[in-house]
Structure 1
Amino acid sequence: MTVISAIVSDLIDKFAVTASERDKEGGTAKEQRDLIRRSDLLGLITPKELGGYGQDWLNVLAIIKQIAQVDSSLAHLFGYHFLCLATVDLYGTERQFAYYAQQTAERNLFWGNAFNPLDQRVTATKTQSGWEINGVKSFCSGASDSDLLLISAQKRDEEGVLFAIIPTKRTGILVENDWDSFGQRQTDSGSVQFEHVEVLAQEVLVANPTHTISLKSTIRTHIAQSILNHVLLGTAEGAFQAAKEYTKNFTRPWLTANVQDASEDPYYVYHYGEFFVKLQAAIALSNIANDHLQATWNDRQQLTIKQRSECSIAVATAKVQIVKTALDITNGMFELMGARATSAKYNFDRYWRNVRTHTLHDPIDYKIRDIGQFALNGKYPEISPYS
């Protein structure tokens, strides 16, 4: 077992003990976030020469999936931390990435997200020292208890969007505890208010002097999609394992099944076989997409439309299978466990609630449309925050 895998295993064991109760409580998983800080894993993608582990996306995504098997909220926060740091590489300069990557590893800084590109209520006004931002941003996953915030704001005096990194505790920032979804209850995905918040010139990501979005920067979409794919896939795997353990230990066979043990009930066996096949298909497609993502990331400085688009199709294809599988398993697991499994003490419904919450943010109907256009007509997906 490597050092990283040992650390991850220890964290997962600790998260699993309280995951169900924390899901019921909601709010900020402060104790667990601090465990992640002390683990040094926040420096996973920081290059070794800058004090980190220098891990690739294949390893990072695998860890996200492992965490999601027991706690999809923490997996989401963990993954988005790296999405935010990677954004500095994609939107900023080499010097900016080196600085923030090193600071992240040395000080175990936890990143939060206030980037949501679809919410354009935050505006930026030019000042002598940089910018001033005002407004409200929604779906700010991980903003609570974060050390740094990745932000986006609409420029008021000129066209374009401001991307920047600022300390979460800067004057004028109010992180609201208003996340009340029935799923992903500890992702702190509520809103953040900005009132006369100063953004210094050196905090602005300015790799592209023309202020246009580069092809390189659009890889962020694939990283975000891949992270959420692994949150969903890990949740499905966790639900499958939880259901299997319950069926084997507690479920009674149906009275006309003519078997002594529920694990021998022919219909239970059949449905577990179905779930297994769907999971294996989702895992296989995920692995293909991950290889595309890593290759695209490696070639990001000379990225072509063809490579980017093929990565988009691979990630979307995996997502369709993962979403359908996760919804099927987290819903159908109850038919294989029985009525007693609906007791609140088990909280098995958290798997479905977490999956359903995620899947509503990005409908797979549009993924299938893009895949169909590619498969039938050879058309690449439109570049967007979701494709």
Structure 2
Amino acid sequence: MSEAVEQTRRTHWSGVADDAERDRWTRVAEEVAVTLAADALERDRRGEQPFAESRLLQESGLVNLLDPAELGGGGGHWESAFLVVRVLARADASIAQLLGYHYINSANVAFVAPAAEREGWLRRTIEGRWIWGDSVNPVDPNLVLRPDGAGFRLDGFKRFSTGSGVGEALLVNAVVEGGEHDGRLAYLVLPYGHPGVELVDDWDNLGQRLSASNTVRYHDVRVGPEHVLGLGTDEPFQSLVTPGIQLVFGNLYLGIAQGALAQGRELTLARPNSWFLSAADTYREDPFVQRLYGELVSRVAAVEALADRVNRSFDRTIDRGSAVTADDRAALAIEVAQLKAVSSDTAVDVANRVFEATGSSSTASHVGLDLHWRNARTHSLHDPVDFKKLEVGAHFLTGAVQPISLYT
């Protein structure tokens, strides 16, 4: 490949996944999902940092799915990565979130790092089987990053730092105050246990309890040049990180809905008899129950078809590398927003209404059917879905697109 073509492509990702690749990673994800499903409810109740689950992801090879094969990575495409998130979310949405965020966080090597430094970051990631956590919450502008010699000093805190409790690498976003880079967004990578970094084990929420999304506090943290991944720009290619994370969300919600339906089906088939006013002999034969599942299954199937299409669109856009335009990026963002709108609402609704078919006995704590709803309800509040609907509607009516941010 010529140097000019390589520079245009910008990354090791090219083309789209074929059937063999998707099948390979689906099988791996399904094996991991079986292990996770065996004690998902018990682990959720304990709410401990997911060190064991992280090792499972590392040993399976899933953490390196997107890394270049020539350096020892999985050589996979984004379509496969999104599909893996979806498969895991059927069994354990917390760990699916952890892995999905890792994919996006580590992808900043391609989106942000200078070309000459990318291979070094990739080699360390692959050889160490790193999981990349993050501390980037844009609505917590509570970090102070000031120049200090050749590097910086970092103070403050960030909430909702997914993967920070277990990841080998912690991606941190902070705006520089002072010096030649004043006002620019810096992407920092700190190793687990870096001096001055305090991991606060305070993630005790309704759902996604094992996503390690705790608070991180920074106490006069030295940030050397070796910890600086790169600086933010207004380049359309670099900003693909936001459609990427929102696509993780769409596939996460779809997987949760599929998991709720699968468990609901098992419970419904196991129910004896039927409601005393029904003409059917069993609940599975009751037309009202069948109609309910018909509606829910059809909605989930429609979301799946949209997700598959948008997942592939992401790979096709990535393939354009530095040739990606603002219009390309905007078109992709609208597709992703469409998926976010329908997948979010569908997951919450399906995980709620499936109880209508499974009955009051399915609300028992030991059944754990509520886990799907708790996970969907918690993560779907990440950023208001109404703004995604507004984004889609405004574009449809006026052609307007949202300004680029870490949420749009």
Range of TM-score over shorter length: over 0.9
Equivalence for 1:144: 165
Equivalence for 1:183: 207
Cα distance in 2 between the residues matched to 1:215 and 1:42 = 26
**Which of 181, 188, 191 lines up with 1:167 in the alignment?**
191
Cα distance in 1 between the residues matched to 2:105 and 2:325 = 23
Contact 1:111–1:146 (CA<8 Å) still a contact in 2?
yes
Aligned to 1:194, the other structure's residue is in SS state strand
Cα distance in 1 between the residues matched to 2:59 and 2:403 = 41
**Which of 84, 103, 106 lines up with 1:82 in the alignment?**
103
> How far 1:6 sits from its partner (Å)?
4.0
Cα distance in 2 between the residues matched to 1:107 and 1:83 = 18
Equivalence for 1:267: 288
Equivalence for 2:120: 99
Equivalence for 2:56: 35
Equivalence for 2:358: 337
Cα distance in 1 between the residues matched to 2:49 and 2:281 = 45
**Which of 212, 234, 237 lines up with 2:233 in the alignment?**
212
The letter for the 2-side match of 1:309 is A
Contact 1:85–1:100 (CA<8 Å) still a contact in 2?
no
Contact 2:303–2:342 (CA<8 Å) still a contact in 1?
yes
Q: CA RMSD in A?
A: 1.5
Cα distance in 2 between the residues matched to 1:96 and 1:181 = 38
1:71 aligns with 2:75: no
Change (3 A) 1:313 1:3: closer
Contact 1:268–1:336 (CA<8 Å) still a contact in 2?
yes
Cα distance in 1 between the residues matched to 2:116 and 2:105 = 16
Cα distance in 2 between the residues matched to 1:374 and 1:13 = 41
Change (3 A) 1:160 1:47: same
1:117 aligns with 2:175: no
The letter for the 2-side match of 1:296 is T
Contact 2:25–2:80 (CA<8 Å) still a contact in 1?
no
Aligned to 2:346, the other structure's residue is in SS state helix
1:196 aligns with 2:220: yes
Cα distance in 1 between the residues matched to 2:308 and 2:317 = 14
Contact 1:40–1:105 (CA<8 Å) still a contact in 2?
no
Change (3 A) 1:156 1:382: closer
Contact 1:281–1:321 (CA<8 Å) still a contact in 2?
no
Gaps of 5+ in 2: 1-19
Cα distance in 2 between the residues matched to 1:252 and 1:363 = 42
Aligned to 2:296, the other structure's residue is in SS state helix
Equivalence for 1:326: 347
Aligned to 1:323, the other structure's residue is in SS state helix
Contact 1:26–1:185 (CA<8 Å) still a contact in 2?
yes
Aligned to 2:188, the other structure's residue is in SS state strand
Cα distance in 2 between the residues matched to 1:308 and 1:229 = 18
Aligned to 1:138, the other structure's residue is in SS state strand
1:246 aligns with 2:267: yes
1:23 aligns with 2:44: yes
1:129 aligns with 2:150: yes
Identity of aligned residues (%): 29
Contact 1:179–1:185 (CA<8 Å) still a contact in 2?
yes
Contact 2:197–2:221 (CA<8 Å) still a contact in 1?
yes
Deviates more, 1:156-165 or 1:307-316: 156-165
Change (3 A) 1:139 1:336: same
Deviation by residue 1:165-206 (Cα, 9 ceiling, x = unmatched): 111211111111001111100111110011111111132133
Cα distance in 2 between the residues matched to 1:112 and 1:371 = 30
Contact 2:152–2:224 (CA<8 Å) still a contact in 1?
yes
Cα distance in 1 between the residues matched to 2:301 and 2:145 = 47
Aligned to 1:193, the other structure's residue is in SS state strand
Cα distance in 1 between the residues matched to 2:239 and 2:82 = 19
Gaps of 5+ in 1: none
Cα distance in 2 between the residues matched to 1:255 and 1:26 = 41
Equivalence for 2:6: none
The letter for the 2-side match of 1:170 is H
The letter for the 1-side match of 2:242 is T
Deviation by residue 1:235-279 (Cα, 9 ceiling, x = unmatched): 100000000110011264111111111110010000000001101
Cα distance in 2 between the residues matched to 1:35 and 1:197 = 31
Change (3 A) 1:310 1:252: farther
Equivalence for 1:361: 382
Contact 2:90–2:258 (CA<8 Å) still a contact in 1?
yes
> How far 1:3 sits from its partner (Å)?
5.3
Contact 2:143–2:157 (CA<8 Å) still a contact in 1?
yes
The letter for the 2-side match of 1:222 is P
Cα distance in 2 between the residues matched to 1:4 and 1:159 = 41
Equivalence for 1:54: 75
Aligned to 2:354, the other structure's residue is in SS state helix
> How far 1:300 sits from its partner (Å)?
2.9
Equivalence for 2:303: 282
Contact 1:27–1:177 (CA<8 Å) still a contact in 2?
no
